[in-house]
């Protein structure tokens, strides 16, 4: 019975560890995507800023040359590009400052997985069920019984691992 309980606790701890690693991988992927989006938006903001400066310089040139002719059109385009630059920069700041998804710490997951009592939902492999029957099979010495419990626990663990790897 001890081997079955230890096997279940080990499986729960293994599951908690895998879950924690998967959450950390997802969190890292989300951070990388956020940084890539922010970099793209900062690049777009840089392009719009350069375009705005070019339009502004052209508008200033035309304004001085023509004196109030096409200036309004160039000024409107320059203003539109400046607004686009500000919007891209604000979106980039939003993506960088966005809070990350909270990940439950590994220590907490392991504590819950190990301390939880067995339930009906826990699948017992056939070797674990035979381990429960072994103590009632007859009178055996303590070392033989311990060896049988350990061997059947390892066999059960190997069977469960083999089934989950498929």
Q: How far apart are CA 125 and CA 155, in angstroms?
A: 9
Q: Among residues 117, 103, 93, which one has the least CA distance to residue 45?
A: 93
CB atoms within 10 A of CB 138: 6
Task: State residue 45's pLDDT score.
Answer: 92
* Mean of pLDDT over the chain: 76
Give, to the nearest 10 degrees, the angle between helix 71-97 and helix 2-66: 170
Measured between alpha carbons, how far is 140 from 152 in angstroms, rounded to an integer?
A: 16
Residues in the chain with pLDDT values less than 70: 57, 60-61, 63-77, 120-142, 164-166
* Residue recorded with tokens 């990350």: 100
Q: How many CB atoms lie within 10 A of CB 150?
A: 14
Report pLDDT for 147.
72
Give pLDDT, residue 86.
Answer: 92
Residue 153 · residue 28 · CB < 8 Å: no
CB atoms within 10 A of CB 62: 17
Reported pTM: 0.38
- Name the helix (H) or strand (E) containing 101: none
Is residue 27 exposed (0-12), middle (13-18) or buried (19+ Cβ within 10 Å)?
middle
Please give the Cα distance from 29 to 35 (Å, whole number). 10
């Amino acid at each position: 019975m001890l081997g079955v309980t230890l096997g279940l606790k080990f499986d729960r701890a293994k599951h908690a560890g895998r879950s924690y690693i998967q959450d950390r991988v997802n969190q890292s992927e989300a951070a990388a995507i956020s940084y890539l989006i922010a970099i793209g938006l900062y690049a777009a903001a840089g392009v719009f800023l350069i375009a705005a400066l070019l339009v502004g310089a052209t508008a200033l040139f035309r304004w001085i040359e023509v004196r109030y002719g096409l200036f309004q059109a160039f000024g409107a385009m320059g203003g539109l590009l400046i607004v686009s630059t500000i919007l891209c920069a604000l979106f980039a700041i939003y993506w960088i400052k966005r809070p990350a998804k909270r990940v439950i710490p590994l220590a907490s997951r392991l504590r819950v997985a190990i301390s939880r009592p067995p339930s009906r939902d826990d699948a017992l492999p056939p070797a674990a069920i035979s381990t429960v029957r072994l103590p009632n099979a007859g009178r055996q010495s303590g070392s033989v019984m311990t060896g049988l419990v350990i061997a059947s626990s390892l066999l059960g663990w190997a069977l469960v691992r083999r089934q989950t790897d498929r």
